[in-house]
């Protein structure tokens, strides 16, 4: 089925029934959102990964609501057909009330849905956001906002207890009404089992080939953050090198003229 002119959370949810896989990318600014939209990417995430690739922080734990609001407004100005989802940053959803208030701020800035990290332990926040009429994208597995407590980015689902928790968290998010779930760094066989066990799409990152879609940080796809690229990224585009080449050629022309 061809994509409709405007992608909705329901269209994303139904992609699984249609057997249509979901290529998803992050976007943090107007031109990138417009280019990705013109390329037919149906789902764009204003992720808190912007902390690293746009703002130069070591991880996502310093990202604020103001940061996400600023980038959400820029992406929203691109008026994409793609559905625009914005991340609720760390501590912006510590209580259900705070979660709803901040989700509403993101919607006012142009987000069409929000994402937060966690399953059963965040279900009160998820329920409150959905009850407020705001579509919710889940996020399970390695939770980057907890990277400091976890001591690094570690694969999830290796031990039985973790696998069971991931499965029950995914079912809890589905039951609460999330329209899709990111599975980050989940052991591929566990990601496959979760994907078979729920009716909403799973969007994997570093979680093997059997999720219903994939998500990638756009800088990793393009090679514009060449100082670090996760091992699971298959594409080897080098736009960072193209930028260096263009800047050197420009500098040399100016110096010589």
Residues acting as catalytic residues: 184
The site string for ligand KIV over 101-130 (x = CB under 6 A, - otherwise) reads ------------------------------
| Minimal CB distance residue for ligand KIV | 47
Q: Which is nearer to ligand KIV, 161 or 209 (CB)?
A: 209
Residue 63 CB, nearest approach to ligand KIV (Å): 9
Interior/surface letters 142-170, b for 16+ CB within 10 angstroms, e for the rest: bbbbebeeeeeeebbbeeeebbebbbebb
Does residue number 215 form part of the binding site for ligand KIV (CB under 6 A)? yes
DSSP 231: T
Whose structure tokens read 């510590």? 94
Element (H, E) at 182: strand 180-184
Q: Which is nearer to ligand KIV, 233 or 244 (CB)?
A: 233
Does residue number 145 form part of the binding site for ligand KIV (CB under 6 A)? no
Whose structure tokens read 């585009």? 237
Q: Which is nearer to ligand KIV, 161 or 174 (CB)?
A: 174
What is the spatial distance between Cα 150 and Cα 233, in angstroms, rounded to a whole number?
23
Say if CB 9 and CB 179 are below 8 A apart.
yes
**Contacting range for ligand KIV; rule: CB under 6 A; set: 5-13, 43-51, 90-98, 153-161:** 43-51
**Contacting range for ligand KIV; rule: CB under 6 A; set: 47-55, 95-103, 226-234, 236-244:** 47-55
Angle at which helix 65-76 crosses helix 96-109, to 10 degrees, equals 30
Say if CB 156 and CB 171 are below 8 A apart.
no
Residue 192 CB, nearest approach to ligand KIV (Å): 18
Residue 144 CB, nearest approach to ligand KIV (Å): 6
Q: Which of residues 71-100 bind ligand KIV (CB under 6 A)?
A: 87
What is the spatial distance between Cα 11 and Cα 15, in angstroms, rounded to a whole number?
6
Interface residue list for ligand KIV (CB under 6 A): 26, 45, 47-49, 87, 182, 184, 205, 215, 217
């Amino acid at each position: 089925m061809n994509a409709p002119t405007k992608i909705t959370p329901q269209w994303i949810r139904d992609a699984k029934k249609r057997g249509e896989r979901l290529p998803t990318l992050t976007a943090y600014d107007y031109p990138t959102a417009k280019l990705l939209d013109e390329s037919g990417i149906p789902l764009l995430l204003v992720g808190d990964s912007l902390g690293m690739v746009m703002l130069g922080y070591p991880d996502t734990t310093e990202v604020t609501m103001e940061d996400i609001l600023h980038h959400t407004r820029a992406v929203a100005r691109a008026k994409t057909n793609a559905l625009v989802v914005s991340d609720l940053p760390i501590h912006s959803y510590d209580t259900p009330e705070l979660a709803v208030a901040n989700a509403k701020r993101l919607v006012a800035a142009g987000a069409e849905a929000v994402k937060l990290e966690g399953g059963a332990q965040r279900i009160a926040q998820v329920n409150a956001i959905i009850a407020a009429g705001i579509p919710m994208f889940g996020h399970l597995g390695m939770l980057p906002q907890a990277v400091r407590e976890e001591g690094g980015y570690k694969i999830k689902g290796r031990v039985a207890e973790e696998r069971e928790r991931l499965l029950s968290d995914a079912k809890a998010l589905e039951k609460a009404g999330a329209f899709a779930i990111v599975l980050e760094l989940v052991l591929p066989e566990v990601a496959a089992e979760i994907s078979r066990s729920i009716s909403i799409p799973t969007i994997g990152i570093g979680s093997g080939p059997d999720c219903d879609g994939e998500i990638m940080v756009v800088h990793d796809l393009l090679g514009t953050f060449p100082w670090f690229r996760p091992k699971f990224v298959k594409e080897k585009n080098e736009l960072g090198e193209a930028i260096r080449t263009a800047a050197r050629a420009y500098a040399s022309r100016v110096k010589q003229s």
